[in-house]
A and B are shown apart, each in its own frame.
Chain A
Amino acid sequence: MKKVISSILTVAVASSLLTGCGDAESKTKEKPVKEETSKGEETVHLKWAVKASEAGRAEFEEMAELAEKECGVEIEIVALPDPEAGEANKLLISLMAGDEFDIVEDAYSNMKQFHEAGVIEDMGALAENVGYDIEKIFGEYPAKFDDKVYGLPAYVDKALTIYNKDLFDKANIPYPTAEDWTWEKFIEIGKQLTDEANGIYGAYNPDWVHYNYMYAMQKGFEHYKEDGTSNYDDPLFKESVEWYYGLGNVEKIQPSYLVQKSKQMPVDYFTTGKVGMSVCGGWTTNWLIDKEKYPRDWKAGVLPMPHPEGEEKSVSVVVSNVWIPTTSKNKEKAFEVAKLFAENQYTLGYGRIPARVDLTDEEIQNYIKEQILPTLEADGITVEDIQEMWFDPDVKIFDEKPVGDASTDIKNIIVDECGLYGIGEQSLDDTVSHIKEKADAAIAAAKK
């Protein structure tokens, strides 16, 4: 009976969805699946799914060219609509409907739903077939679910502090140093920089979900208890929520949560030149590099992510993985390309931090000097600054987003409940107790 119902459902739902899905939107011309090379061999054609907002990136074009040169394949970059919160993920629906894709690159936390839907290929067997030692090259970075590898890490995004040197100069404050860079110092300097009457804030850390628990994570907080329930009744989490909203509401070194929301302040508000410091993902160095999009007449500095006083140095990371959908008909070739991307994307000059553990100190030094420094040295940023910011081997790393049962729901719950606390409509105790209760319910529902 169960099997019959399942079969009927699969056929019926898939057929009805197919009428709505059709082929994935492609910004490139349709190409035949296989073409003949000059030597008479067949050229494998691979489809690489990317977000529409990222489709025009020169970096991707270069990666495609690299794959075509090194692996003898033809890469078609297919742009799919960006998945917004609360909306269906077009790539997920396409893959569930059987659309053929060969390569995808996305953050580890975003892969969870795809793994649950059974549309990501286990890379273990593919690596074994070609004798590829994933752990030797990437250490603990590869995307794993149930102890199996589902993605090869192309780069790791590490959080950092960027600061506006001009505002420091005007306030006669010496530039901070990476040594023992703590949140306490961050707040103290933030107070000195803040000049609300002139619209200057000492800091700006936007209202993204991870700021709610980041401080707790640096003190050793985990999202899940050993028994699988949520850990939001841990006092560390409560302290972290109070601390984050306190930056705006109590310390007043950044816009309050109410102001951020009502003004719909953008994440790149730092680039207006009215913010002293911002702690954000490593990708924000693009704000400093892209002078066309973010023109400025002031210089910027960089530091590692601050840590709570008395705690060891730590940084939140987002690992971007290359993975192969189960719908791929050329998995071996796709794995070859995934390897190539994971090992080489950082060499293309876009400020990516390699997720490789096999690189020597010399290789890292060369990488910093040749790839990262040229884009940042106009701001007076040195090799040492970059080394301390991203390549300090003594820094503890933790995932920016939770990955586990109902993690998508949990992120939404934290945003909803903490938002009420942020605008003063709910007490801190009620906030954490609601989060705990709702997160546990979401986990229980996910496990059904």
Chain B
Amino acid sequence: MTSSLRRKEARVAWLFITPYLIGFILFHFLPIFLSIILSLTDMKYISTADQTSFIGLGNYFEMIYDAEFRNAFKNSIIYSVCFVPLVMVVGLLLAVLVNQKIYFRNGIRAMIFMPYVSNMVAIAIVWSLLLDPVDGIINQTLRALGVSNAPMWLMGSKTALITVVMIAVWREVGLQFVTYLAALQDVPKELKEAAQIDGANRFQLFRFVTFPLLKNTTFLLIITSIITSLKNFTIIQVLTEGGPGNATTVLPLKIVDTAFSSARMGYASAQAMVMFVLVMVITAVQWIGKNRSEIY
């Protein structure tokens, strides 16, 4: 390729990526950059920015002693630690099951995927009715079965977070399921047949042949699941609004509350930076782990 042709191709390439770059700089890079600066100030309102002082790492030190922030951070971690393995395992199990020749397979696929494309507010209303601790259908059934102290579900401070996680898994598992199903159908039949000829049973076939071939898919889904688990503002806002008490207040809710209820933009930006770094670190660890292990 001649250098003029190469330059021409480069120009065309820039032409194609420029709109994206402009969008990225305006709506991603610039806000992140501003957040970093704001996180080092005590800014409250933009209109009173002339009263803003540079306070260095003051906001970051405050977080260490802020019980409310620590609670939100802890809830975010619990949420992610419960959500990610659950959604991955359930998604994989469903995909393996539906990948078999079973009756009404297409209908089951649609049913599993349906919550993923359903309206979040509608989901919240339906689950709130089902889980009504007073006379919801689930607790009525439990009482009929002899459970005297039925759970409070979304209304209980000890049960609310895990209940939200279960609803989130039910909603999000469609994506994991569909992706795993596509990956399972890509596993070469010859490999399975060879393993079967060598005497592998069904578990060994899955453990040593199928699962390793799902590695790239699993990596992608883990990353997206972790990110999804930290972007949980909507589901918690519509289901519990962070309550009861602060039982389901997670980082995104805390950040919004700090910024708009407490009007502490600087402190909210610092909290957002902590969340940003958390996502980056988890993703980096995953990335390094994946690169160090064998790729199929």
Flag A49-65 by CB within 8 Å of B: 1 or 0 each.
00000000000000000
What's the minimum C-beta distance from A86 to chain B, rounded to whole angstroms? 6
Interface size class of B (residues with CB under 8 A): 35 or more
Task: Tell me, yes or no, whether B151 is within 8 Å of chain A by CB.
Answer: no
* A426 contacts across to B, CB distance below 8 A: 157, 245
Task: Give residues of chain B (10-44) contacting chain A, Cβ–Cβ below 8 Å.
Answer: 26, 30-31, 34, 37-38, 41-44
Residue among B34, B245, B261 making CB contact with A417, cutoff 8 Å: B245
Bound CA–CA A406/B48 (angstroms): 17
Within the complex, which residue of A14, A117, A258 is in contact with B134, where a contact is CB–CB below 8 Å? A258
List A46-101 residues whose CB lies under 8 Å from chain B.
85-89, 95-97
| Minimum CB distance partner of B62 in chain A | A445
CB distance from A446 to the nearest CB of B (A): 7
Q: Is A425 an interface residue (CB 8 A)?
A: yes
Which of B203-247 touch A at CB < 8 Å? 237, 241-246
**Stretch in B50-58, B79-87, B286-294 touching the partner:** B50-58
B44 cross-chain contacts in A, Cβ below 8 A: 116-117
Main secondary structure of the interface of A (DSSP, over half): helix
Q: Are the C-beta atoms of B157 and A420 separated by less than 8 Å?
A: yes
Does the CB pair A9–B38 fall under 8 Å? yes
Q: Which B residues are CB-close (under 8 A) to A86?
A: 237, 241-242, 253, 256-257, 260-261
Q: A95-B47, A417-B245 are in contact. Are A113 and B263 (CB under 8 A)?
A: yes
Q: Which residue of A lies closest to B50 (CB)?
A: A6
Given A9-B52, A95-B47, A416-B261 contact (CB < 8 Å) = no
Contact check, B261 vs A14: say whether CB atoms are below 8 A apart.
Answer: no
Q: Provide the B252-291 mask, 1 if CB < 8 A to any CB of A, else 0.
A: 0100110111111001000000000000000000000000
Interface residues of A in 255-299 (CB under 8 A from B): 258-259, 261-264
Is A118 an interface position by the 8 A CB rule? yes
The answer on a CB contact under 8 Å between B53 and A2 is: yes
CB A8 to nearest CB in B, in angstroms, measures 8
B49 touches A409 (CB 8 A): no
Give the CA-CA distance A417 to B157 in the complex, in Å.
11
Do B42 and A448 touch (CB < 8 A)? yes
Contact A419 B244 (CB under 8 A): yes
A423 to B160 Cα, complex, angstroms: 13
B residues less than 8 Å from A419 (CB atoms): 243-245
A9-B41 in contact (CB<8A):
yes
The interface size of chain A toward B, counting residues with CB under 8 Å, comes to 49
- Which of A119, A420, A438, A446 is in CB contact (< 8 Å) with B244? A420
Tell whether A2 pairs with B54 under 8 Å between CB atoms, given A9-B38, A12-B34: yes
Q: Which of B47, B156, B257 contacts A425 (CB 8 A)?
A: B156
Taking the nearest CB of chain A, how far is it from the CB of B133, in angstroms? 6
Determine if B155 is an interface residue (Cβ-Cβ < 8 Å). yes
Whole-angstrom CA separation of A87 from B242 in the bound complex:
13
Question: Which B residues lie within 8 Å of A261 (CB)?
Answer: 155
Bound form: Cα–Cα A97–B49 in Å: 12
Complex CA–CA separation, A5 to B54 (angstroms): 8
- With a CB–CB cut-off of 8 A, which chain B residues contact A423? 152, 155-156, 244
CA distance A412 to B242 in the complex (A): 11
Nearest CB in chain B: distance from A43 CB, A:
30
| Given A86-B257, A423-B244; A10-B50 close (CB under 8 Å) | yes
Which residues of A are found within 8 Å of B49, using beta-carbon distances?
6, 9-10, 13
Whether a CB of chain B sits under 8 angstroms from the CB of A173 is no
| B261-A262 in contact (CB<8A) | no
Q: A1-B54, A13-B34 are in contact. Are A412 and B245 (CB under 8 A)?
A: no
| Residues in chain B near residue A119, CB distance under 8 A | 47
Asked whether B46 is an interface residue with its Cβ less than 8 Å from the other chain, the reply is: yes
A19 lies within 8 A of chain B by Cβ: yes
Q: How far is the CA of A118 from the CA of B46 in the complex (A)?
A: 10
A330 in the interface (beta carbon within 8 A): no
A128 to B283, CA, bound (A): 62
Nearest residue, chain B, Cβ from A256: B134
Pick the residue among A87, A416, A442, A445 that contacts B260 (CB under 8 A): A87
Q: Please tell me if the beta carbons of A88 and B262 are within 8 angstroms of each other in the complex.
A: no
* Residues of chain B lying within 8 A (CB to CB) of residue A259: 134
CA distance A97 to B261 in the complex (A): 18
Task: Among A3, A16, A406, A412, point to the contact of B30 (Cβ < 8 A).
Answer: A16
Tell whether B45 is near chain A: CB-to-CB under 8 Å.
yes
> When the two chains form their complex, are residues A17 and B46 in contact, meaning their CB atoms are under 8 A apart?
yes
Assuming the A-B contacts A412-B257, A419-B244, are A5 and B41 also in contact, with contact meaning beta carbons closer than 8 angstroms in the complex? yes
Chain A residues near B41 (CB-CB < 8 A): 5, 9
Please indicate the chain A residues that have their CB under 8 angstroms from the CB of B132 in the complex. Answer: 262-263
CA distance A370 to B132 in the complex (A): 48
Q: Which residue of A lies closest to B133 (CB)?
A: A262
Within 8 A of A (CB), among B110-144: 128, 132-134, 136
Q: A2 vs B54: C-alpha distance in the bound complex, in angstroms? A: 7
Q: Which residues of A contact B243 (CB under 8 A)?
A: 416, 419
User: Does A249 make an interface contact (CB < 8 A)?
Assistant: no
Contacts of A344 in B (CB 8 A): none
Which chain A residues (1-30) contact chain B, with CB distance < 8 Å?
1-3, 5-6, 8-10, 12-14, 16-17, 19
A249 to chain B, nearest CB (A): 13
Task: Determine whether the beta carbon of A88 is less than 8 Å from that of B260.
Answer: yes
Given A1-B54, A2-B53, A6-B52: A96 touches B155 (CB 8 Å cut-off): no
List residues of chain A with CB within 8 A of the CB of B38: 9, 13
- Supply 17 further A-B pairs (C-beta < 8 A) apart from A85-B261, A113-B263, A258-B155: A6-B49, A116-B45, A117-B44, A118-B45, A118-B48, A262-B132, A408-B261, A409-B261, A412-B261, A416-B246, A419-B244, A419-B245, A420-B157, A423-B244, A425-B152, A426-B245, A448-B42
Listed by A's residue number, 8 A-B pairs whose Cβ atoms lie within 8 Å are A9-B37, A16-B26, A88-B259, A113-B263, A119-B47, A408-B262, A416-B243, A416-B246
Task: Give A contacts to B, CB under 8 Å.
Answer: 1-3, 5-6, 8-10, 12-14, 16-17, 19, 85-89, 95-97, 113, 116-119, 258-259, 261-264, 406, 408-409, 412, 416-417, 419-420, 423, 425-426, 438, 442, 445-446, 448
Closest 5 CB pairs of A and B: A117-B45, A10-B49, A96-B47, A420-B245, A96-B46
List chain B positions with a Cβ less than 8 A from chain A.
26, 30-31, 34, 37-38, 41-54, 68, 128, 132-134, 136, 152, 155-157, 237, 241-246, 253, 256-257, 259-264, 267
